Amino acid sequence: MMTPEEFRKTILPEGRRLYALAFRYLNNREEAEDTVQEVMMRLWAERNNKRDHVNVGAWCTIVTRNCCIDALRRKKRVPFHGLSEVNGATEYETDHRGVSDDHEAVQMISTIVSRMKEPYKSAVILRDMEGYSYEEAAEVMQTNTNALRTIISRARKNIREEMERLYNYGTGENKRAAR
């Protein structure tokens, strides 16, 4: 049985990391905070089942991911930052154009990822955005590393294709391809 003191020492320190993960899914500060609070309540309620999970961090991440997916389903929407916001990055263009281009690309990728369906979205967030190893991400997603590698490969291909489509929009290349 996990005592309140053990919970404070092992689970509460995960809060900041779980907030960052929730924010990646929800793209909203308040929703991420509410979700992490819900996660902590669920973890407390399930504290005696902790022994079922070897890695406390993975257990916390699984619960957070599931709560985020639940929150998105309740809203029946996927967070989306319109291209007008992404294109707003151009206002930062100065002599440091490369920095602004990088910022725009990151914003576009974030937008694409936010619109992806599961499990692709989770795989990209965990592996590419949060920096989890393949083994850690596979554990969180409750799959094996080979399946995860396939999911990530397909997700990255989707991101590449969408980026090409967005960058080529309105160019001669895109018009020729449409004919």
Domain boundaries, given as residue ranges, for the chain: 1-77
Task: Note the pLDDT of residue 34.
Answer: 92
pTM over 0.75: no
Task: Note the pLDDT of residue 80.
Answer: 40
In the chain, pLDDT over 90 holds for what percent of residues? 40
Task: Note the pLDDT of residue 104.
Answer: 77
Task: Note the pLDDT of residue 15.
Answer: 94
Exposed/middle/buried for 158, CB within 10 Å: 0-12, 13-18, 19+?
middle
- CATH number for the 1-77 domain, one of 1.10.3720, 1.10.1760, 1.10.1740, 1.20.1740? 1.10.1740
pLDDT higher than threshold 90 for residue 111: no
CA distance 143 to 155: 16
For residues 42 and 67, the answer to whether their CB atoms sit within 8 Å is yes
Q: How far is CA 129 from CA 24, 100, 169, in A?
A: 8, 19, 26
- Share of the chain residues as helix, strand and coil, in percent rounded to the nearest 5: 80, 0, 20
Look up residue 141 and give its amino acid.
M
**Runs of H (alpha helix) within 15-143:** 15-26, 29-45, 56-75, 83-87, 97-115, 120-124, 134-141
